[in-house]
């Protein structure tokens, strides 16, 4: 009997000294996709609807960032923004990517802001992004404070999605089971301990640094997002000189899932 293939497992590469699980599909100009920080998240879970379509025009690279998914979790690691940025740049270096388009989702948007290495980025797309300070929302408090149970996961999915049809008991069970895989919850619980406002502030860049970004930037946000407020993207829009902002109505924190076709079309048009 054949063992089912886990689609969340991609290729492996040594990046910044870390054994890294990543996906690399398509050809053409590279697009580097950084996932969010929900419990049990992987690059594949985050970008599974986006990558196959983008790969028709571009080369998609989507790693599990250190501490998430199937990438190595070094025993002595401290999870910090500097460490995550170093890991992302390490993946680019290991793959020989001098420059790439960059897509960052939520937590991944804070990494993708490109302030630490602007010369490595062509165009920048940020979806429901952190990167400026704001009072922590109940939704983000719940996500970062998640403790494993099917009930807690179901409640969390209700926060993430505007469309209730996307949320059911089967999905809640799948995401719960993902969150309790060996090492997943242990590393996740160590990333954002209470009080959690400090982690938003730690992900925020200085206004002057954001204003200095030279990149064409696409900001995307769901109007009904209960995790990251639309005010965060609106503030980034005010600060980034070469920015455009697209708000989706009837959309929560899962733009890439709730409006998958239009989201991917936006990225395709923008990167072309």
Q: Which residues are catalytic?
A: 106, 225, 253
Residue 271 CA to residue 268 CA, distance in Å, equals 5
Residues in contact with 3: Cβ distance below 8 Å, sequence separation at least 6, in sequence order: none
Q: Are 114 and 210 in contact (CB under 8 A)?
A: no
Strands 243-248 and 217-222: parallel
Q: What is the number of other CB atoms lying within 10 angstroms of the CB of residue 75?
A: 5
What DSSP line would sit under 162-220, residue for residue?
A: S-GGG--HHHHHHHHHHHTSTTHHHHHHHHSPSSTHHHHHHHPPPHHHHHT--S-EEEE
Residues in contact with 52: Cβ distance below 8 Å, sequence separation at least 6, in sequence order: 25
- Taking the alpha carbons at both ends of the chain, their separation in whole angstroms is 45
Phi, psi at residue 54, to the nearest 5°?
-60, -35
Residue 175 CA to residue 169 CA, distance in Å, equals 10
DSSP-based three-state secondary structure for 62: strand
């Amino acid at each position: 009997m054949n063992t089912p293939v886990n689609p969340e497992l991609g290729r492996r590469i040594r990046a910044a000294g870390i054994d890294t699980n990543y996906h690399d599909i398509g050809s053409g100009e590279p697009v580097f996709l950084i996932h969010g920080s929900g419990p049990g998240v992987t690059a594949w879970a985050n970008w599974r609807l986006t990558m196959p379509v983008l790969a028709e025009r571009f080369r998609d690279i989507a790693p599990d960032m250190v501490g998430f998914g199937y990438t190595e979790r070094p025993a002595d690691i401290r999870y910090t923004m500097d460490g995550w940025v170093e890991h992302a740049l390490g993946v680019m270096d290991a793959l020989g990517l001098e420059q790439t388009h960059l897509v960052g989702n939520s937590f991944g948007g804070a990494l993708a802001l490109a302030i630490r290495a602007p010369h490595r980025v062509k165009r920048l797309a940020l979806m429901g992004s952190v990167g400026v300070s704001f009072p922590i929302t109940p939704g983000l408090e719940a996500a970062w404070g998640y403790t494993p149970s099917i009930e807690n996961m179901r409640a969390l999915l209700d926060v993430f999605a505007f469309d209730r049809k996307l949320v059911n008991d089967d999905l809640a069970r799948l995401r719960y089971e993902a969150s309790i895989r060996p090492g997943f919850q242990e590393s996740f619980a160590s990333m954002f301990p209470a009080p959690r406002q400090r982690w938003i502030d730690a992900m925020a860049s200085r206004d002057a640094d954001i204003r200095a970004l030279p990149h064409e930037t696409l900001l995307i946000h769901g109007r009904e997002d209960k995790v990251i407020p639309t005010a965060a993207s609106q503030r980034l829009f005010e600060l980034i000189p070469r920015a455009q902002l697209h708000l989706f109505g009837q959309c929560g924190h899962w733009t890439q899932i709730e409006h998958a076709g239009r989201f991917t079309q936006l990225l395709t048009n923008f990167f072309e």
